[in-house]
Amino acid sequence: MSEPPWWPEHRPHDVQRAWTASGDIAPSDWSRASSAPPVNEALAVPLGSRPPRRRGWPAVVLVLVLALTTVWLSGRLGSAAAARNAPPPGREESAVPLGTPPLGAPTTGPYSFLQTQSDGVSPVTYDPCRPLHYVVRTDGAPVGGDVLIATGLARISEATGLQFVADGSTTEAPMEHRPVYQPDRYGRRWAPVLIAWSTPAETPELAGDVAGSAGSSSVTLHGTAHYVSGIVVLDGPAITQLLGSANGTALAQGVVTHELAHLVGLGHVNDPTQLMNPTAAVNVTSLADGDRAGLARLGTGACVPGL
């Protein structure tokens, strides 16, 4: 299939913004956190004014134009905050990664990261030595929405080696300042990733032709940032409409997979052959070589038993 024409009036404007992590947490602070009783006050993580997002499509043509605004989240934990608002360290930590990127994964091709370490090169990653738990708010989900999420997570897991664990459904609503530690709701652990179906009325960032947003929160330990939780918000009505169009299932799967790639730290590239291009077309609905190369690097982060 040839590259479809773009609709200039829907040409995406891509904005990427960073939150700088602060607060180097010493092991003694984590020890105090493990012995301190849970408190209701939770660490609020700023999402920024425009989270990463996936745009929708003109319904009258066989062209899908999607724009994403990528923002990552960074937890701001100082020692005092860690003593009150961090879970006990090392929960479910294994001595070795639970999975690895596939042998023969692409090593070249265009890719970028949402957040890098202080060297400006190494990506911020999730800990591969513990499972990445997630919950789903199913209110407003389209028919087949559970399959879109499960398939997208399977694709990201295969490309990174990260292991996802479903913790069931939740009533938690998406919010701009989502706490990364919610002991009253989820127990004494980092809050699981929230995947929520929403609407523009509830989530203003989904207004217009925006179909989704995603990002993750990081904390810094010994000078290195690590993701600990995240959020994916999907526009239920918009994706329902997309599913009813020609090739709609593949297109919707591309949107969800793109957002889940943002969740684990993959950024945009200016290459229309990649799923992570800020503008997507109907003939690019799955991960390409550059996407897979970047995801493979995101799956080889360090184990962090002190987190």
The CA-atom distances, in angstroms, between 291 and each of 131, 149, 173, 218, 295 are 22, 18, 30, 22, 6
On the question of pLDDT at 100 being above 90, the answer is: yes
* Residue the block writes with tokens 């890719």: 111
Classify 225 as helix, strand or coil.
strand
The CA-atom distances, in angstroms, between 41 and each of 28, 44, 49, 183 are 21, 9, 23, 9
On the question of pLDDT at 25 being above 70, the answer is: no
pLDDT at 85: 80
Q: DSSP letters of 244-282?
A: TSTTHHHHHHHHHHHHHHHHTTB---S-TTSTTSSS--T
For 165-190, what is each residue's pLDDT tens digit?
999 999 999 998 899 999 999 999 99
Largest CA distance in the chain: 60
On the question of pLDDT at 295 being above 70, the answer is: yes
Q: DSSP letters of 94-149?
A: -SS-S--PPTT----S---BS-B-TTSSSBPB--TTS-EEEEEE-TTPPTTHHHHH
On the question of pLDDT at 71 being above 70, the answer is: no
Q: Could you tell me the fold of the domain covering 16-298?
A: Collagenase (Catalytic Domain) (3.40.390)
High-pLDDT (> 70) share of the chain, %: 72
pLDDT at 278: 81
Average pLDDT, the chain: 78
pLDDT at 54: 55
pLDDT at 114: 96
Q: β-strands 224-235, 210-221: how paired?
A: antiparallel
The b-or-e profile of 32-58 (16+ CB within 10 A means b, else e) is bbeeeeeeeebbebebbeebbbbbbbe
Supply the pTM of this predicted model: 0.78
Measured CA to CA, the distance from residue 85 to residue 249 in angstroms comes to 41
> Higher model confidence: residue 48 or residue 192?
192
Domain edges within the chain: 16-298
pLDDT at 177: 84
- The average pLDDT across 263-289 equals 91
- Candidates 73, 214, 97; CA nearest to 161 is 97
Q: Under a CB-based contact definition with an 8 Å cutoff, are residues 217 and 73 in contact?
A: yes
On the question of pLDDT at 46 being above 80, the answer is: no
Measured CA to CA, the distance from residue 68 to residue 79 in angstroms comes to 35
Q: Under a CB-based contact definition with an 8 Å cutoff, are residues 193 and 231 in contact?
A: yes
The CA-atom distances, in angstroms, between 56 and each of 6, 11, 12, 143 are 13, 11, 10, 18
